[in-house]
Amino acid sequence: MGSRIHSTELTLLVLVVLVAALAALAQRLRTPYPIVLVLSGLVLSFFPLIPHVSINPTFVFLVVLPPLLFASTLNTAWREFRFNLVTIAMLGLGLVGFTVAGVSLIAHLFMPEFDWRTGALLGAVVSTTDAIAVGAIASRVGLPAEVLEIIEGESLINDASGLLALQFTIALVTDNEIPTLTSGVTEFFWLMLGGIGAGLLVGFFILRFERFILRHFPRSSEVPLLVNIATPYFAYLLGESIHASGVLATVVCGLYLGRATSESFSIQARLDSRTVWSTIDFVLNGLVFIVIGLQLPTVLNGMREIHGQLNWPHMLAGAALVSAVVIAVRMIFIFPGARISWFLRTRVLKQPIVKPGRNELLVMGWSGMRGVLTLAAALSLPEYISTGELFPQRGRIIFYAFAVILVTLVGQGLSLPAMIRKLRVVESEEILDHERRARGVLLKAALKALREMPSNEDEGENSVHAILTRYYRQRLEALKPEDGEPALNQQRKYQEVAATLRRVERAQILRMREQGTFRESTLRDLERELDLLDLRWEK
């Protein structure tokens, strides 16, 4: 028992060191770190000294997935999510069914070992994009905000429809039963509505508790953070316990609480929360992606146990076909799906949106990356059917799922930045104008408050009110696109000089630390103030 624990600790330490080193390499190569981690894990899996780590699907679903989903949704803008809900639902629900049907048809026609049932099961396994993969890659390759919001929203809600498709297709294979339309619709709506209800219920009580802590312990950050970290597990377990979608419950809870952090967290708790969730997100993502790469020996060994000697040309041809179909059905669906969504949003909901362009839709179609959820879904397939026979094509389904992850994550992930540049899909001027106008509203409110404040000083250029008024007016002038360039240049020079002076202050803190003439806690507080100022002006 003790040796097993030490072995697990050593394996985890090795993985953490590898993640840190490879993430640093990814920064140097200016490549999204999930791609570097997956490829490195794949290469390292052939070295005998590297531990072979197998993914336990239960561990992924219960331990890894909830905090990663929660971290993604905390930063998701609820207003934009609700505004784009029709488009998100079209992709998150309709595209899942289209993928299942497309993969089932092609597998049945061109892969003799698959009938339409096992083909549909393969389609269900690879049907859902991964919120973890999409969020980790798409946000780092320069996707415009409006495109990224739809892609991330799709990946957050299509897990419920993908789970339903997986349950139905497993029942088809194991029991040879076709669920009735009534039972299918009923189960689907319970998965959705039950998950939404569970997420809202947990979010409601957590929000009340956080506000209670803020009222009675306004300087506390440890207790709110502890509750915040446990929240995704509460939501997920409640959703699963009522046989609804735990994934959807976690997503809804994160969306609900993400809007309220300004009211329920103190300033210190908000700052600490960003740091904590950023660290959790990076560590779990890093471990997940490198473990995906290390899975190849486990996948191949599982196939050898079932099929004996592996037919590599046949396997690689099948993997290429399935990957091509998965990409193709998304590209085929994205154009009519977006057009239908645009029609419904403009004609029925009367939303003032622009018809999506061809380039934006191409980028959106090329962003359908798969990740650990696809592999976990494949590994969760039962080993035997109801008659006691081996589950048909289980090894091949796992291998093809692994291939789809590699092709979409690495192939599409590496080519996506070039596609964005080639198609010139950039942040729209409207989004930038929104930010300028929002900043302008804040600055005008501050100037108005300054004018209304009584001053006890003699009016003059050096009064506090005059200094602050000049500062806010200068920032307001810099927001004007037509004649704000002089003010903007002056502001940049101010920032450069101020940054130089902060570096001088940091050097002085180091000297004081070496001299030991001041308390370490005092120096840490001063250093934190400089950190916050640097963060304020960081571009």
Q: Which residues contact 339 (CB under 8 A, 6 or more apart)?
A: 355, 356
Q: Write out pLDDT tens, residues 418-429.
A: 888 888 887 665
Q: 401, 125 in Cβ contact below 8 A?
A: yes
CATH of domain 2-426: 1.20.1530.20
Alpha helices in 139-180 (DSSP H): 145-175
How far, CA to CA in Å, does 233 sit from each of 66, 163, 201, 371, 374? 6, 19, 13, 21, 21
Strand partners, 390: 384
pLDDT band per the 50, 70, 90 thresholds, residue 107: very high
pLDDT band per the 50, 70, 90 thresholds, residue 497: confident
Distance CA 202, CA 233 (A): 10
Distance CA 441, CA 462 (A): 26
Pick from 86-95, 120-129, 261-270, 398-407: least confident: 261-270
pLDDT band per the 50, 70, 90 thresholds, residue 138: low
Q: Is the pLDDT of residue 386 over 60?
A: yes
DSSP 219: T
Distance CA 322, CA 126 (A): 9
Q: Write out pLDDT tens, residues 338-348.
A: 999 999 999 99
Q: Is the pLDDT of residue 407 over 90?
A: yes
pLDDT band per the 50, 70, 90 thresholds, residue 21: very high
Q: Write out pLDDT tens, residues 255-277.
A: 888 877 767 787 778 878 888 98
pTM of the model: 0.80
Q: 130, 99 in Cβ contact below 8 A?
A: no
